[in-house]
Amino acid sequence: MNKNMGALVMALDQGTTSSRSIVFDSNYAIFSHSQTELAQFFPQSGWVEQDPNEIWQTTLYTARQAMEQQDLMSEHISAIGISNQRETTIVWSRLTGKPVYNAIVWQDRRTADYCRKHQQHGLQKMVSEKTGLLLDPYFSASKIAWILDNVSGARAAAERGELAFGTVDSWLIWNLTAGSVHASDVTNASRTMLFNIHSQDWDNELLQLFNIPPSMLPAVFDCNACFGYTAEPLFDGAIKICGVAGDQQAAAMGQACFTKGMLKSTYGTGCFALLNTGKTAVQSQHKLLTTIASRLNGEITYALEGSIFIAGASIQWLRDGLGIIQSAEQSGQDAQTSDIDQDVYLVPAFTGLGAPWWDPEARAAILGISLATGRREIVRAALESVCYQTLDLLGAMHADWQTVSDTVLRVDGGMAVNDWTMQFLADVLQAPIDRPVITETTALGAAWLAASHAGIWPDRDDFASTWQCQRRFTPNMCVERRNAKVNGWNAAINRVRTAP
């Protein structure tokens, strides 16, 4: 292929369990790709951490590898887009660039008591009205407060203006620009619980509530803004960074869900369903989140979101924790050959339950086990749990937004390539679901942001017209059997809930 300058764009897709870089050509095809796994640490029950330096080094490594695979130079890459795991919290020194503590991952629940005290003081309404979020450990604000209160000298340094906070996008931008840019995009900012999604700015009342100095915060830009240039020593020359979005918002853009009423669900470490609500910030009455889907050239779009903490992570646990499968790819075959007469349920509340339950104290359970139960039935239960949780999310969305039942769900992410799981999802939802030709939609969305800003990919409408369905899955399970299985799930999840 001709590697003329301006033909290629690179997406840095920094996820919870891996970092990867994908170079796309002008036809949206993957030109080169590099990926490496990322370690997680679990110091205590419910705590989840990562090494910020490993996040940065693995991202840089995969970017360099993706370029080296095709002998690319910086002049061949017109722009870089970034998508990232959201809410994960990093605090570092502005003087040295070194983190003061490990990254506290979005799954971490250590601040559950802290958030509960704020709830008991009647602060949930104010927080929800400003941010669209719930008072929950999931979001960044309580994680920042924990670092400032528990790391020696951190609060004093923050008060002196010496510390910077960022979600993973900000951390990557800081390192990519050798510390010259401290910035975030509006979608990541909207997940911190410090950002007013209506005024679209950091909120002083929230900063006071969590006792966080405003000097720690990054500047907030549009998703398709210019975030600076890479420092020349990183590659062979500078590359423009001009697209940033949190992973779920990036996936929605990669799925071309630009129109009000469109719905996508991404199946990665967790599962996240986003419903485009246009210019209206719909306040959920059923424990969903109101979030910013995008801000492009100053134009804001909102979404309703349902967040499931554990999806693909349960398959990783079966592989790495229990050792009962060798690879994620094996899971579909195991489910296919399992004993379908056994109704085993895995409720994956390893770090609590997300939407629509929001129960941080709940813990995982496997129910319905008999002496005939083997590993295949447990693997199937793990896959099925993702589909049941999606049903719970869409039920809440339908209650908040009546047109959801008329919307075809677009799916993506690592688990979306599993045909067995996607067929079971269609059966449980009793509705069709569409899987696109390009399932790397998170990276594709980040690439589109950067490439459209750089003028080498089309605008929103023309890009949406190129979306193609690879396969539509339609229900084929009888309704009576489906209803019985869903009733079993509802009974199982009620067994692990700690809150009414």
Dig out the tokens for 489 from the structure: 């799930």
Q: Residue 277 maps to which CATH number? A: 3.30.420.40
* Count of CA atoms in the C-beta half-sphere (13 A) of 76: 20
| 202 three-class SS | strand
Could you tell me where the DSSP H helices lie in 401-478?
419-429, 441-454, 460-464
Do the domain assignments include residue 401? yes
Do the domain assignments include residue 461? no
Rounded Cα distance, 67 and 10, in Å: 9
Looking at the structure, tell me whether residues 263 and 228 fall in a common domain: no
Omega before 500 within 30 of 0, i.e. cis: no
Question: Which residue, 94, 196, 214, 84, is CA-closest to 144?
Answer: 214
The predicted structure's pLDDT at residue 1 = 42
Residue 427 to residues 147, 360, 422, 431: CA-CA distances in angstroms? 44, 29, 9, 7
Looking at the structure, tell me whether residues 185 and 234 fall in a common domain: yes
Would you say 401 and 282 are in contact if contact means Cβ atoms under 8 Å apart?
Answer: yes
- Residue 229: beta bridge partners? 240
Would you say 445 and 249 are in contact if contact means Cβ atoms under 8 Å apart?
Answer: yes
- Provide the CA 284 distance to its chain's centre, in angstroms: 20
The predicted structure's pLDDT at residue 98 = 96
Rounded Cα distance, 406 and 71, in Å: 47
Mean pLDDT, range 427-441, rounded to an integer: 90
The predicted structure's pLDDT at residue 226 = 94
Q: What is the pLDDT of residues 209-229, one digit of tens each?
A: 999 999 999 999 999 999 999
Q: What percent of the chain has pLDDT over 70?
A: 97
Task: Give residue 283's pLDDT band: very low, low, confident or very high (50, 70, 90).
Answer: confident
Looking at the structure, tell me whether residues 210 and 78 fall in a common domain: yes
Q: What is the pLDDT of residues 327-379, one digit of tens each?
A: 777 787 877 888 788 889 999 888 788 888 888 788 889 998 988 888 888 88
Would you say 408 and 400 are in contact if contact means Cβ atoms under 8 Å apart?
Answer: no
Do the domain assignments include residue 393? yes
Helix axis angle, 140-150 to 112-120, nearest 10° = 110
Do the domain assignments include residue 452? no
Arithmetic mean of pLDDT over the chain: 90
Do the domain assignments include residue 428? yes
Q: What is the pLDDT of residues 153-210, one digit of tens each?
A: 999 999 999 999 999 999 999 999 999 999 999 999 999 999 999 999 999 999 999 9
Looking at the structure, tell me whether residues 102 and 195 fall in a common domain: yes
Number of helices (H), then strands (E), belonging to the chain: the values are: 16, 22
Q: Which of 120-134, 332-346, 426-440 is predicted with the least confidence, judged by mean pLDDT?
A: 332-346
Task: Give residue 2's pLDDT band: very low, low, confident or very high (50, 70, 90).
Answer: very low
Report angle CA 216, 220, 222 to the nearest 5 degrees: 165
Q: What is the pLDDT of residues 139-148, one digit of tens each?
A: 999 999 999 9
* Domain coverage including residue 395: 256-436+468-500
The predicted structure's pLDDT at residue 401 = 81
Looking at the structure, tell me whether residues 156 and 293 fall in a common domain: no
Could you tell me where the DSSP H helices lie in 160-264?
168-176, 186-189, 204-210, 247-254
Looking at the structure, tell me whether residues 152 and 58 fall in a common domain: yes
Q: What is the pLDDT of residues 311-322, one digit of tens each?
A: 778 888 888 888
DSSP state of 321: I
Question: Which residue, 242, 224, 206, is CA-closest to 79?
Answer: 242
Residue after which a domain boundary falls, among 246, 280, 299: 246
Looking at the structure, tell me whether residues 342 and 472 fall in a common domain: yes
Q: Which are the contacts of 86, defined by CB distance < 8 A and separation ≥ 6? A: 106, 167, 168, 187, 188, 191, 246, 247, 248
Do the domain assignments include residue 457? no
Dig out the tokens for 352 from the structure: 């609590």
Residue after which a domain boundary falls, among 246, 277, 299: 246
Rounded Cα distance, 86 and 453, in Å: 22
Number of domains in the chain: 2
Looking at the structure, tell me whether residues 272 and 151 fall in a common domain: no
Looking at the structure, tell me whether residues 422 and 489 fall in a common domain: yes
Residue 141 main-chain phi, psi, to 5 deg: -55, -50
- Provide the CA 237 distance to its chain's centre, in angstroms: 31
Question: Which residue, 176, 179, 174, 187, is CA-closest to 244?
Answer: 187
Looking at the structure, tell me whether residues 158 and 209 fall in a common domain: yes
Do the domain assignments include residue 133? yes
The amino acid sitting at 471 is: R
Q: What is the pLDDT of residues 468-490, one digit of tens each?
A: 899 999 999 999 999 999 999 99
Q: Is 122 exposed, middle or buried (0-12, 13-18, 19+ CB in 10 A)?
A: exposed
Q: What is the pLDDT of residues 101-116, one digit of tens each?
A: 999 999 898 999 999 9
Residue after which a domain boundary falls, among 207, 224, 246: 246
Dig out the tokens for 11 from the structure: 């997406």
DSSP state of 234: G
Task: Give residue 45's pLDDT band: very low, low, confident or very high (50, 70, 90).
Answer: confident
Would you say 54 and 171 are in contact if contact means Cβ atoms under 8 Å apart?
Answer: no
The predicted structure's pLDDT at residue 416 = 86
Looking at the structure, tell me whether residues 216 and 290 fall in a common domain: no
Do the domain assignments include residue 454? no
The predicted structure's pLDDT at residue 500 = 66
For the entire predicted model, the pTM comes to 0.86
Whether the per-residue pLDDT at 99 is higher than 80: the answer is: yes
Looking at the structure, tell me whether residues 336 and 400 fall in a common domain: yes
Rounded Cα distance, 453 and 455, in Å: 5
Whether the per-residue pLDDT at 403 is higher than 70: the answer is: no
